[in-house]
Amino acid sequence: MRARTTPLALTVALAVGLSACTSPEPPPSPPAPEPPSELSAGRSEPVTDPLYPQQGNPGIDVLHYGLALTYVPGDRVLNGLAELTIRPVHDAGELRLDLAAGLTVTESTVDGVAAPAAREGDDLVLTAAVVKDRDIVVTVAYNGVPAPVPAPARREDMAGGIGAQTGADGELWTFQEPFGAFTWYPVNDHPSDEALYDVTVTTPEGWTGVSTGVYQGTETDDGYTTTTWRSADPVASYVTTLAVDRFEMYEQRAGEVHYVSWVPSGFAAQWEPLFAELPELVAWLERRYGPYPFPNSGIVAVGGRSGMETQGTITLSAGLAGGNGDRRVILHELAHQWFGDSVSPRDWRDVWLNESVATYAEAMWAVDQGMLTEADAVAVWSGADQRMRDEYGPPGDYDPGAFASGNVYFCTALMLHGLRGEMGPEKFDAMLRDWVQKQRNTTQDRASFTAWVSEYAGEDMTAFIDAWLDSPTTPRA
Ligand SMILES: [Zn+2]
């Protein structure tokens, strides 16, 4: 089943109509969405990142983000009202959040009382006395033109920076791994602090905002359109999303999953066949890793030239693979919904926890499709291993300036291939399936993965895993 919010011809007519006359003044910021009554699923144990300690704050645990965002593509200005429910981890006289220096804070409160705000680079520091484990509500009103920040990476697709980006017509999208959510909202921008989300995105009529969580619906009033999003599963900030374009919606249901995808008008014919294949790709992954972990799935097609496993709705550049996406990339990002989004790395040392399985699953799917043989896949990984270790460091101890390089993909997919050989396919498959099914909505690390593998292997696999993650040379298979 499929449905479009606006027929293509009508969308074009609206766009022409809006550009031919003055857009109505943006409406006043709507109130920030209310948090749900039960917030325990948003509770985390935040840590300081060993590689990127300037991001995030282990002193606070954000339970819920309520974001009311208004974005006007004509002038690229984002107006935000953020309401954060926070559990202070210890007593303190100030609260520190990540928020890009280019965004201006106009008002801030803690528990309804005005709290002075200071800026220190990309930190927002609010003066307020807080008490350990006594939840507080922080509101921040802000505005500005969102812009990306430099990526700690050497990848071509990250050369333009990470975070919110805007295109030629004012359309907006985000790619923000390992950080960059702070370019569009105040956030504890670290994967160890997952939280629940309620988001509204208001745009001039004819444009649509897409964000994180289950799509709740669209309302248009007085020349402006508001979409509403809710995530009852905790989300890490690097897999939240915001995208604004003249989107058409494509919707279907299969099994327990509601698929909602978004494509800029004019690109629908190209993308709809890919959207239609999503349930089949999810079913392939479910046969290996158990039930899909979230109520929603889909794709939002955006600018740029990357793909990202944003939670539920994955983000894919429209120009990827000649404008028609690429099924292997989609399979890869879908695999991350289990490995990365549902079970997340506690800090960025362990990004290999995500990329090893996504790379491995992507290859095994391609083998199933007859695109290559398992021997071909292993030969590619083996052929790359030493060079990747030389260029970027071993995958468990990589150069922090080379985030998400080939080492955390190829070297660790080869490690999984080796583990499968050591354990046998049945134990290996059960180990991975149980890892994601029995630990849904948790953060994990190398120690917990090693203990998990060792239990299924029936022997201590520490030396094996450490060698693959830390050795400057390819371990002997
Ligand atoms: Zn990946």
**Each residue of 237-284: pLDDT tens digit?**
999 999 999 999 999 999 999 999 999 998 888 889 899 999 999 999
CA of 410 from ligand 1 middle (Å) equals 11
CA of 108 from ligand 1 middle (Å) equals 36
CA of 139 from ligand 1 middle (Å) equals 34
CA of 329 from ligand 1 middle (Å) equals 9
- If one counts every other C-beta atom within 10 angstroms of the C-beta of residue 113, the result is 7
The per-residue pLDDT for 30 is 82
CA of 32 from ligand 1 middle (Å) equals 32
Task: Answer whether residue 14 shows pLDDT above 70.
Answer: no
Domains recognised in the chain with CATH numbers: 16-343 (2.60.40.1730), 351-470 (1.10.390.10)
Spatial CA neighbour of 301 closest among 326, 331, 328, 332: 326
Reported confidence tier of residue 18, pLDDT bands at 50, 70, 90:
very low
Task: Answer whether residue 10 shows pLDDT above 50.
Answer: no
Sheet holding 257-264, edge to edge: 247-254, 257-264, 296-302, 313-317, 307-308
Task: Answer whether residue 95 shows pLDDT above 90.
Answer: yes
* Range with lowest mean pLDDT among 49-58, 189-198, 269-278, 288-297: 269-278
DSSP state letters, 65-102: EEEEEEEETTTTEEEEEEEEEEEESS-EEEEEEE--TT
DSSP state letters, 104-148: EEEEEEETTEE--EEEETTEEEEEEEE-TT--EEEEEEEEE----
Task: Answer whether residue 155 shows pLDDT above 70.
Answer: yes
Q: Which residue has the higher pLDDT, 322 or 228?
A: 228
Rounded to an integer, the average pLDDT of 340-360 is 98
Q: How far apart are CA 114 and CA 99, in angstroms?
A: 18
Q: Which amino acid would we find at residue 56?
A: G
CA quadruple 421, 422, 425, 431: dihedral positive or negative?
negative
CA of 109 from ligand 1 middle (Å) equals 38
Instruction: Locate 241 and state its tokens.
Output: 């999303």
Q: Which amino acid would we find at residue 255?
A: G
CA of 67 from ligand 1 middle (Å) equals 27
The per-residue pLDDT for 320 is 67
CA of 395 from ligand 1 middle (Å) equals 14
The per-residue pLDDT for 477 is 61
CA quadruple 287, 291, 293, 299: dihedral positive or negative?
positive
End-to-end CA distance of the chain: 48
Q: Which residue has the higher pLDDT, 324 or 130?
A: 130
- If one counts every other C-beta atom within 10 angstroms of the C-beta of residue 13, the result is 13
CA of 164 from ligand 1 middle (Å) equals 19
Q: How far apart are CA 476 and CA 454, in angstroms?
A: 19
Q: How far apart are CA 396 and CA 394, in angstroms?
A: 6
**Angular region, 273: left φ>0, alpha ψ -120 to 50, beta rest:** alpha
CA of 336 from ligand 1 middle (Å) equals 7
Cα diameter, the chain? 72
pLDDT tens sequence across 38-93: 999 999 999 999 999 999 999 999 999 999 999 999 999 999 999 999 999 999 99
CA of 357 from ligand 1 middle (Å) equals 9
Q: Which amino acid would we find at residue 49?
A: D
CA of 312 from ligand 1 middle (Å) equals 15
CA geometry: angle 171, 172, 177, nearest 5 deg: 155
CA of 229 from ligand 1 middle (Å) equals 24
Task: Answer whether residue 12 shows pLDDT above 80.
Answer: no
CA of 158 from ligand 1 middle (Å) equals 14
CA of 313 from ligand 1 middle (Å) equals 15
Task: Answer whether residue 325 shows pLDDT above 80.
Answer: no
CA of 212 from ligand 1 middle (Å) equals 18
H or E element: which one contains 314? strand 313-317
Q: Which residue has the higher pLDDT, 32 or 148?
A: 148
Q: Which amino acid would we find at residue 445?
A: D
Return the C-alpha torsion angle 465, 471, 473, 477, nearest 10. Answer: -10
* Range with lowest mean pLDDT among 76-85, 316-325, 463-472: 316-325
Q: Which residues lie near ion ligand 1 (Cβ < 5 Å)?
A: 355, 358
Spatial CA neighbour of 461 closest among 448, 450, 446: 450
Q: How far apart are CA 477 and CA 464, in angstroms?
A: 10
CA quadruple 463, 468, 473, 476: dihedral positive or negative?
positive
CA of 17 from ligand 1 middle (Å) equals 41
Task: Answer whether residue 2 shows pLDDT above 60.
Answer: no
Rounded to an integer, the average pLDDT of 365-372 is 93
Rounded to an integer, the average pLDDT of 215-222 is 96
